[in-house]
Amino acid sequence: MTILLLILSVITGVSLGKYFGKKEKLAKSLLILSAGFLITICLNEVFPEVYTSDISPNIGVFVIIGVLLQMILEALTKGFEHGHFHHHNEHNILPLALMVGLFIHAFIEGIPLANEKETLSPYLLGILFHNLPISFILGAFLFNKKTEKSISYSSLLIIALFALASPLGMLLGNYFNPDLQPYFLAIVGGIFLHISSVIIFESNKNHNIDWMKIGLVIVGVTLALVMHLFHSHSHIHHHH
């Protein structure tokens, strides 16, 4: 079920990107929305779980590792996950480096899914939500090259790889000792934190207040909060 959802979220994003790829505003809005959602998932779901895991007092270091890892990955993807794809000429994005970066990123995100007890955990929703804009950009990028009239096999391969990265991480996660779960979760928390904060805090050119952006962040945050409340509420009921 989870794997299906993960793959679907990528396919949906890519197809949206294929058809609406020219509408950069839409991609940006999706990104900002998902950033608000992600940062809330981070602070409400991921971090509490990480910090209450009693595993090691230094678990915070793993969050920082996640942040640093994402910084390194962005050297490969050139900030693709923040929607930076139009600033580069097509030539200086190495599809290989980009793919390696995106794959590692999605793969690591998949690992903590292995030990999720419930189908639609907030964490999974966070990933699905976050996959949409990235796949959107991926679709827009792959299908809007003026040279290619038809879908090339390489494009399909790239999409397939990206779609399968999180499921593969999840499958691998099944073989890890569940005690390692908080560490992986902490690393992903760092990745999420970095991505969402970069998207949210990317400076407005003249530091005017961008109400549209604030609004989108608030919508993302609200969605995640509503889900959080709904989620914790249903948990209370399970325990009775």
Contact 124, 5 (CB under 8 A): yes
Distance CA 212, CA 54 (A): 40
Specify the higher pLDDT residue, 117 or 211: 211
Band the pLDDT of 186: cuts 50, 70, 90. very high
The domain segmentation of the chain, as residue ranges, is 2-239
Distance CA 127, CA 107 (A): 11
Return the amino acid letter for 112. Answer: P
Burial class of 191 by CB neighbour count within 10 A (0 to 12, 13 to 18, 19+): buried
Q: What is the pLDDT of residues 10-44, one digit of tens each?
A: 777 777 777 776 667 777 788 888 889 889 989 98
Q: What is the pLDDT of residues 39-92, one digit of tens each?
A: 998 998 889 888 887 777 888 999 999 999 999 988 888 777 776 655 445 544
pLDDT score of 187 more than 90:
yes
